[in-house]
Amino acid sequence: MDAALSRRLERSSHTAFISHNTLVVWGGYQEAAGQDVALPSEEIWLCDLDSGTWERRDIDGDAPPDLKDFCGASIDDTLYVFGGCDLVGYSNQMFSVDLSEPSCCWRRVTDTRGTTPTPRSKHSCWVHRDRLIFFGGYGCKTVGEVQNSPSSSFVVEEMSWTTIGDTLFRCWGWNNEVNVFDTHTATWSQPETRGPAPAPRGCHASAVLGNKGYISGGAERAELDVFCLDLDAWTWTQFDISPSCAPLGRSMHTMTPTSDHTVFVYGGLGVDGNTLNDGWRFDARSRRWTEVTHPHKDKPRVCHTACLGSDGDVVVFGGSSRLCILMDSVAVLRAPSQNHCSDVLIFQTQPYSLYRLCEDLIGGNPELFRTPLRRLPPKLRSKINKRVAFFSAAACRGQRVSEPHLLKQ
């Protein structure tokens, strides 16, 4: 990857998903002159994970404003973006784009039923049965909205005297609300949940296992906590785990499902103020955390994305390798240099199939198979050629990628 392309791809707090072994990346921010600058809404980037090559596509239509701290989620090949911050303030708008169409076009989702959630950022989303289920975040409510909300669902951090229509002031803070958007009926709803709900928070990680949505972190706790919500019965469960057996508390990390009962957690900003490089496996059946060894200990990450790819691989992209927190007597500030990243990290979570191992062997040693490669069917030959391109580019960067690195306890 040349330096110019690498610079354009560097970003944090973006959204990503994998479709047909292609990593799709949209949004996020970079730095310019010490300031956070949102990346253009009219472009989206696609990385062919077989070859490692990137392609930029333009998106027309009613594009989102330049957003930070939004929440993105995909259903099939449609990307949904909800909330976030723009130059005006916090947003509760939703946008969608169908990326399977030859000419992609943003659409502002306006013709909805039900009550739209209040403006927010730093929230998360579970995708379940073609529903987008949003949890938590930081945002604003009017005084009336706060008074009509349960006292345990919104923690007021500050109040601002502003005139917005007939509203004289607003309250800003964290919430633990659950809001559901049905993509078939374009309907918003807020189910009544039961059980021990997590404290209001944002900057947490989330994942879906079966019919349960899991969240971890995002709260100022010494150890990483875990909750799950039954997405049919709307009942919360808190996992009672000994602090001595749990990872360090953190925020802005990722949680990726790797089987029907396990998730993989990577990186984040620790409560000690450091950007983390550790990986952990959580087993929801045994309720146990297990630290895993991996080949990317020199790649700490925060505000990155992690997606489940083919063969059980967890694909991490972007983020910052160093997010320093500066504190004074008035505020908590981020250091101006955050070291945004553009590399793709692959975490192998299960043994590869013989087919995958043969692909990688041939791709890494094409000179040994030059004659047999010519006899392959066109579709298979194209796949192998992509693997050859991948290993060739990695060799030019001085990377050793011919040997798989299975995550181990």
CB atoms < 10 A from the CB of 408, how many?
8
Q: What is the pLDDT of residues 327-336, one digit of tens each?
A: 444 444 444 4
- Give the CB-side neighbour count of residue 291, counting CA atoms within 13 A: 11
**DSSP assigned state of 351:** P
Consecutive sets of 10 residues in the chain, 409 residues long: mean pLDDT of each?
89 96 96 85 96 96 94 97 92 96 94 96 98 96 86 83 61 95 98 96 98 96 96 96 92 97 97 95 96 95 97 96 60 57 95 94 92 90 93 72 60
Tokens 């989702």: give the residue. Answer: 109
Q: Are 186 and 229 in contact (CB under 8 A)?
A: no
Dist. CA 63–CA 290, nearest whole Å:
42
pLDDT score of 329: 41
Dist. CA 348–CA 155, nearest whole Å:
40
Q: In 185-258, at which residue ranges do the beta strands (DSSP E only) sit?
A: 187-189, 205-209, 212-216, 226-230, 236-238, 250-251, 254-257
Dist. CA 36–CA 85, nearest whole Å:
12
pTM score: 0.92
**DSSP assigned state of 406:** B
CB atoms < 10 A from the CB of 375, how many?
7
Q: Are 319 and 341 in contact (CB under 8 A)?
A: yes
Q: What is the pLDDT of residues 232-264, one digit of tens each?
A: 999 999 999 988 899 999 999 999 999 999 999
